[in-house]
């Protein structure tokens, strides 16, 4: 992907908000396909894809944004950002648990929205496996020294961006992979929520979020084993060696 995602699926049932958001996005280089209904958005996802990013309201007719995210996650790791009203904290958590990478709160500042979209696009862009070695390089299945790490039954191949548990591949979203890579960079070291927000989500020190880190850690634990990530109460999280 380029610095700005080329194709974006915008799902918003409010015509005024939808049109204004589309205009702002297009002014900043996005090619926007807009839908006003969750089921229609899912049809467009299948018939007009691929998309580089999805921006969806939570409250939608036909199919809500959380359910749409869950369907997309069944077939793709495309970055998915939810839009929520301030009173929808529970819906936000459900959306993150369904696999959303981030969310913005209504009413939102356009610059904040653009920054969040650029951030999730960059995170996905960074997770590009290394090129296949050419002639004279190490053979298939080999890895450069230090590119593989072992944590109990987990094996991380940093070059291939692959994680295996007991020999079986673990399917992670781009954000989950970024989170695991950060924890694996310093196994046994406690990383605070603020540190993880900065390194994984590109949030500044002024950005505090009660949901993003906790929910993504929870999702990661469900995939790699709850015992693998330890909570150090009052400080943060660490990956057990």
**What is the Cα–Cα distance from 169 to 157, expressed in whole angstroms?**
11
Residues 6+ apart with CB under 8 A from 92: 58, 82, 84, 103, 211
- Where a domain ends, among 126, 157, 178? 126
**pLDDT of 142-196, one tens digit each?**
344 458 899 999 999 998 889 999 999 999 988 899 999 999 999 999 999 989 9
* Angstrom distance (rounded) from CA 181 to CA 131: 19
Total domains present in the chain: 2
Specify whether 48 is located in the same domain as 109: yes
In-domain check, residue 49: yes
104 in the same domain as 15: yes
**Is pLDDT at 2 greater than 50 in this prediction?**
no
User: pLDDT class for 49, splitting at 50, 70, 90?
Assistant: confident
> What would the mean pLDDT of 89-102 be, rounded to a whole number?
88
Confidence tier at 11 by pLDDT (50, 70, 90): very high
Which pLDDT value is given to residue 124? Answer: 74
Give the DSSP per-residue string, 87-126. Answer: T-HHHHHHHHHHT--EEEEES--HHHHHHHHHHHHHHHHH
Say yes or no: 120 and 159 in one domain: no
Q: Environment class of residue 235 by beta-carbon count within 10 Å: exposed (0-12), middle (13-18) or buried (19+)?
A: exposed
DSSP summary character for residue 235: T
CATH of the domain at 114: 3.40.50.2300
The rounded percent of the chain whose pLDDT value lies above 70 is 85
Neighbours of 137 (CB within 10 A): 11
Biggest CA-to-CA distance, the chain: 59
Residues 13 and 96 in one domain: yes
Contact call for residues 53 and 114 (beta carbons, < 8 A): no
Do 22 and 119 belong to one domain? yes
Instruction: Identify the CA nearest to 158 among candidates 176, 180, 125.
Output: 180
Residues 152 and 115 in one domain: no
Q: Which residues contact 42 (CB under 8 A, 6 or more apart)?
A: 63, 68, 71
Query: Given pLDDT bands bounded at 50, 70 and 90, which one contains residue 32?
Result: very high
**Among 43, 68, 39, which residue's Cα sits nearest to residue 55?**
68
Looking at the structure, tell me whether residues 77 and 182 fall in a common domain. no
CA distance readout (Å), 77 to 125, 237, 240:
12, 24, 26
| pLDDT score recorded for residue 127 | 63
What's the mean pLDDT in 110-115? 90
Q: Is residue 141 part of a domain?
A: no
Torsion on CA atoms 230, 236, 237, 241, rounded to nearest 10 = -90
The CA–CA distances, whole Å, from 73 to 67, 69, 94, 184 equal 10, 6, 14, 24
Same domain, 21 and 113: yes
In angstroms, rounded to a whole number, what is the distance separating the alpha carbons of residues 194 and 159?
27
Q: Does the residue 139 lie in any domain? A: no
Whether residue 102 sits in one domain with residue 182: no
Q: In which domain, by residue range, is 215 found?
A: 148-239
DSSP states of 133-167: P-TTS--TT---TTSEEEETTEEEETTTTEEEETT
- Cβ burial, residue 176 (10 Å; 0-12/13-18/19+): buried
Global pTM exceeds 0.95 = no
Q: How far is CA 135 from CA 140, 144, 176, in A?
A: 11, 15, 33
| pLDDT tens for each residue of 194-236 | 899 988 888 765 566 768 899 999 999 999 999 999 999 989 9
């Amino acid at each position: 992907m380029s610095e700005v995602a080329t194709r974006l699926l915008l799902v918003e049932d409010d015509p005024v908000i939808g049109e204004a958001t589309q205009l702002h996005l297009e002014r900043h280089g996005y090619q926007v396909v807009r839908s006003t209904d969750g089921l229609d958005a899912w049809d467009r996802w299948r018939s007009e894809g691929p998309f580089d990013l999805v921006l969806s309201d939570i409250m939608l007719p036909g199919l809500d944004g959380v359910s749409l995210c869950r369907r997309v996650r069944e077939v793709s790791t495309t970055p998915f950002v939810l839009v929520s009203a301030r009173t929808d904290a529970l819906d936000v958590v459900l959306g993150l648990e369904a696999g959303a990478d981030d969310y913005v709160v209504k009413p939102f500042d356009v610059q904040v929205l653009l920054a969040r979209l650029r951030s999730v696009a960059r995170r996905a862009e960074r997770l590009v496996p290394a090129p296949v070695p050419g002639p004279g390089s190490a053979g298939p299945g080999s890895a450069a020294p230090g590119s593989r790490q072992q944590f109990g039954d987990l094996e991380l191949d940093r070059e291939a961006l692959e994680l295996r548990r007991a020999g079986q591949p673990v399917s992670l979203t781009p954000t989950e992979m970024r989170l695991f890579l950060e924890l694996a960079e310093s196994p046994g070291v406690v990383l605070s929520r603020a540190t993880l927000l900065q390194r994984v989500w590109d949030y500044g020190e002024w950005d505090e979020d009660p949901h993003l880190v906790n929910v993504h850690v929870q999702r990661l634990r469900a995939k790699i084993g709850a015992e693998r990530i330890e909570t150090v109460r009052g400080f943060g999280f660490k990956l057990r060696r």
